[in-house]
């Protein structure tokens, strides 16, 4: 990667290739790292992840092509860049995290260790912790995440509502297994630059969990109660 450009300089460099006005918006959105919007009355609006500010010239040229007239070759260059975005300084944050894996009912570290050895040959280097309860679950049930995985921190967080005797162990194990799959399988990037977290390959491995059907059924019941 090159030294990062300022957003203004990045925009000027792109416009030198496209010869049309472009408005660049920089974000930290990990689900959609690049997108383009355009209407006839205004300039092209290119939304990019901040990592693109340090991209090499070939990526800049591919982005310029992607803005005005996407081609298979420009999409390929962009996909390859996305796949090699580094962790930057986020791994340092992992070392400073205060992890809490032992709950009142379930020990996440023990569960993750057993699953790692059983299904992933013990090859996953992943930390795990209970998350924080936060505000009322009922008010945000549509957006609640029972688990999440941060690729750069290599960290699994599990929602504390699962640390309950009313939640069967197989379901906690399923949620941890699901997040460990995210650690194993990188998101797929489609032709439009969108990251697919749950690809067909991911779903294939997910369904191999011994209590998959029971876990899915319990999840529906649990979410309906929240």
**Could you report the per-residue pLDDT of 31-65, keeping only the tens digit for each?**
678 888 887 778 899 999 888 988 889 999 999 99
Q: What is the pLDDT, as a whole number, of residue 81?
A: 86
Q: What is the pLDDT, as a whole number, of residue 194?
A: 66
Q: What is the pLDDT, as a whole number, of residue 105?
A: 97
Q: What is the pLDDT, as a whole number, of residue 169?
A: 98
Q: What is the pLDDT, as a whole number, of residue 29?
A: 67
Local confidence band at 218 (pLDDT 50, 70, 90 cut-offs): very high
Per-residue pLDDT averaged across 11-21, rounded?
91
Per-residue pLDDT averaged across 162-170, rounded?
97
Mean pLDDT computed over every residue of the chain: 85
φ, ψ dihedrals at 95, nearest 5°:
-70, -25
pTM score? 0.60
**Could you report the per-residue pLDDT of 98-152, keeping only the tens digit for each?**
789 999 999 999 999 999 999 999 999 999 999 987 654 444 444 578 999 877 6
pLDDT above 70 coverage of the chain, percent: 83
Q: What is the pLDDT, as a whole number, of residue 133?
A: 73
Check the CA dihedral 124-130-136-141 and report its sign: positive
Q: What is the pLDDT, as a whole number, of residue 89?
A: 43
Q: Which residue has the higher pLDDT, 20 or 142?
A: 20
Q: What is the pLDDT, as a whole number, of residue 5?
A: 84
**Dihedral, CA of residue 99, residue 183, residue 170 and residue 101, to nearest 10:** -10
CATH code, residues 90-225:
3.30.2010.10
- From residue 102, alpha-carbon distances to 8, 9, 87, 93, 95 in Å are 48, 49, 28, 21, 18
- From residue 7, alpha-carbon distances to 11, 49, 53, 65 in Å are 6, 11, 7, 18
């Amino acid at each position: 990667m090159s030294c990062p450009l300022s957003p203004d300089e990045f925009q000027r460099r792109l416009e030198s290739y496209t010869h049309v006005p472009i408005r660049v918006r920089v974000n930290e959105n990990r689900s959609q790292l690049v997108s383009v919007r355009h209407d006839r009355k205004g300039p092209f609006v290119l939304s990019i992840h901040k990592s693109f500010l340090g991209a090499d010239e070939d990526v800049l040229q591919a982005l310029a092509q992607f803005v005005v007239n996407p081609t298979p070759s420009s999409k390929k260059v962009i996909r390859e860049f996305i796949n090699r975005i580094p962790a930057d300084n986020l791994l340092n944050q992992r070392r400073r995290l205060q992890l809490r894996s032992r709950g009142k009912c379930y020990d996440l570290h023990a569960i993750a260790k057993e699953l790692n050895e059983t299904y992933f040959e013990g090859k996953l280097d992943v930390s795990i912790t209970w998350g924080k309860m936060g505000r009322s679950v009922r008010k945000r049930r549509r957006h609640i995440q029972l688990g999440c995985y941060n690729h750069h921190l290599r960290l699994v967080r599990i929602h504390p509502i699962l640390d309950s005797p009313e939640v069967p162990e197989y379901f906690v194990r399923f949620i941890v297994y699901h997040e460990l799959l995210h650690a194993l399988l990188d998101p797929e990037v489609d032709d439009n630059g969108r990251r697919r977290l749950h690809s067909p390959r991911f779903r294939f491995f997910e369904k191999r969990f011994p209590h998959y059907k029971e876990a899915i059924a319990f999840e529906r019941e649990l979410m309906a109660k929240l």
